């Protein structure tokens, strides 16, 4: 049994199995461990998101959450409802809270020329206005 999942002795066999199915092989393992704690119910979604962001950054956390959400949609069984509800809550909170920040891929999309244009003065205000008002 996976060492990350092994600390779930109080979980029912079905719940532990569902969490294993949804998180198996997710990387990085530090984010996976936090995600497991959230899905088990040991961490609130907001705390889990904060901890995952501190470990891997928004793009990495988004990829992990997207992956586990996709897995929940295709791999979940009727008995997995509690775990699936936790995945849904985590996804919704991430989208609402972190999605409101700048698109994490914006820096990747910009070319060096775009960045220069944004940091260079436009020259528009270089000369003082010598006109006088009446």
Locate the domains of the chain by residue range.
5-119
Residue located via tokens 């959400």 = 69
77 is written with which tokens? 């069984």
C-alpha torsion sign, points 54, 91, 67, 105: negative
Strands (E) located in 45-95: none
Q: Are 90 and 48 in contact (CB under 8 A)?
A: yes
- Please state whether 40 falls in left (phi above 0), alpha (psi between -120 and 50) or beta: alpha
Residue located via tokens 């944004």 = 118
- Model pTM above 0.95: no
pLDDT at 99: 66
One digit per residue, the tens of pLDDT, for the chain of length 134 reads 355 445 544 556 888 888 998 999 999 999 999 999 999 989 999 999 999 999 998 999 999 999 999 998 887 776 678 888 889 898 898 988 876 655 444 444 444 454 444 444 445 444 555 556 55
């Amino acid at each position: 049994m996976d060492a990350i999942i092994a600390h779930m002795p109080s979980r029912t066999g079905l719940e532990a199995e569902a969490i294993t199915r949804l998180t198996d092989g997710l990387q990085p393992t530090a984010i996976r461990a936090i995600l497991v704690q959230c899905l088990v119910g040991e961490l609130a979604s907001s705390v889990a998101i904060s901890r995952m962001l501190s470990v891997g950054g928004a793009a990495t956390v988004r990829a992990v959450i997207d992956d586990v959400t996709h897995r929940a949609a295709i791999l979940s069984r009727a008995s997995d409802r509690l775990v699936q509800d936790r995945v849904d809550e985590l996804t919704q909170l991430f989208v609402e809270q972190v999605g409101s920040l700048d698109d994490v891929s914006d820096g990747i999309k910009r070319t060096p020329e775009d960045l220069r244009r944004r940091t260079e003065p436009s020259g528009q205000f270089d000369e003082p206005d010598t006109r006088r008002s009446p």
